[in-house]
């Protein structure tokens, strides 16, 4: 069986799906730091890079931007402001380049990570939702139950992975982060962070994010309750500290901490 699994991983564009996955374990997120940002954003992508948090935003309630957030002060500075020329979605930094997908325009904006100079665009044949990378390739979601493993050179699909939770396909996969050998994913309109095996597609664990809402002030809660879009969306991992940073669309706070087993 192991030889067969290795063989299948080498095949391009194979859709993997387990017949049924084990029940996910329950994990908890222990907050160690809160970051109050000085300007909110419609967060579609979040990543730790060069000692800061980089954020991609969409233009539902503002502009499509690439922001740099200082984790010490919460100050937000726009590195790119595209206004409403496209709807910004998932973003990741890989191989000296910053990639930002658009939602429905089929565009992948590419920038030099050091200078933010625009490089030739790539094309995405599907909707753009979440974007991350492992050691060799990009990984994207399109709002379905599938994850796509992509070439960073031309965005071509190398492998497709169906994601299952127990005996059902997990739909509406959104923001992504590859960390600790797993793919961590927000799911649209859910208050759980999913830990997904990049080999089997099984949801191995769920992290309950509802306690984050309880940490907010009454005014903060009223703000995020004002629109159903303002759900958790934004997960970044810093391998140097071992901390995850989580946030949501138009949330005034980012939370940094560790994910662990429920006691």
H or E stretch covering 179: strand 173-179
Q: What is the DSSP letter of 72?
A: T
3-state secondary structure (DSSP) of residue 145: coil
Query: 254 CB contacts (<8 Å, ≥6 apart)?
Result: 34, 35, 37, 53, 69, 71, 74, 234, 245, 246, 247
Q: How confident is the model at residue 6 (pLDDT cuts 50, 70, 90)?
A: very low
Q: Is the pLDDT of residue 11 over 80?
A: no
H or E stretch covering 90: strand 88-94
pTM for the predicted model, two decimal places: 0.93
Are residues 167 and 17 in contact, defined by beta-carbon separation less than 8 angstroms? no
List of domains in the chain: 2-261 (2.120.10.30)
Q: Is 229 exposed, middle or buried (0-12, 13-18, 19+ CB in 10 A)?
A: middle
Query: 140 CB contacts (<8 Å, ≥6 apart)?
Result: 90, 101, 124, 128, 129, 130, 131, 147, 148, 150, 176
In tens, the pLDDT along 34-68 reads: 999 999 999 999 999 999 999 999 998 899 999 99
H or E stretch covering 259: strand 253-261
Token match 């990543």: residue?
47
Are residues 140 and 150 in contact, defined by beta-carbon separation less than 8 angstroms? yes
In tens, the pLDDT along 184-224 reads: 999 999 999 999 999 999 999 999 999 999 999 999 999 99
């Amino acid at each position: 069986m192991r030889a067969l699994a290795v063989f299948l991983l080498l095949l391009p564009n194979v859709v993997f799906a387990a017949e049924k996955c084990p029940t996910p374990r329950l994990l908890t997120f222990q907050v160690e730091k809160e970051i109050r940002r000085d300007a909110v954003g419609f967060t579609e992508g979040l990543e730790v890079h060069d000692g800061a948090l980089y954020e991609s935003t969409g233009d539902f309630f503002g502009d499509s931007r690439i922001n740099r957030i200082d984790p010490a002060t919460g100050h937000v500075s726009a590195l790119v402001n595209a206004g409403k020329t496209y709807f910004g979605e998932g973003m990741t930094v890989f191989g000296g380049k910053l990639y930002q997908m658009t939602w429905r325009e089929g565009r992948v904006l590419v920038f030099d990570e050091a200078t933010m100079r625009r490089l030739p665009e790539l094309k995405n044949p599907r909707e753009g939702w979440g974007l991350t990378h492992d050691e060799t390739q990009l990984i994207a979601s399109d709002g379905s139950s599938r994850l796509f493993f992509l070439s960073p050179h031309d965005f071509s699909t190398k492998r497709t992975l169906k994601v299952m939770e127990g005996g059902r396909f997990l739909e509406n996969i959104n923001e992504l982060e590859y960390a600790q050998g797993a793919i961590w994913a927000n799911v649209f309109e859910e208050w759980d962070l999913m830990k997904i095996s990049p080999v089997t597609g099984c949801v191995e664990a769920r992290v309950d994010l509802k306690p984050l809402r309880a940490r907010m002030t009454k005014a903060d809660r009223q703000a995020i309750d004002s629109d159903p879009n303002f759900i958790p969306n934004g997960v970044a991992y810093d391998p140097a500290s071992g901390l995850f940073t989580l946030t949501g669309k138009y949330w005034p706070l980012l939370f940094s901490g560790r994910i662990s087993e429920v006691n």
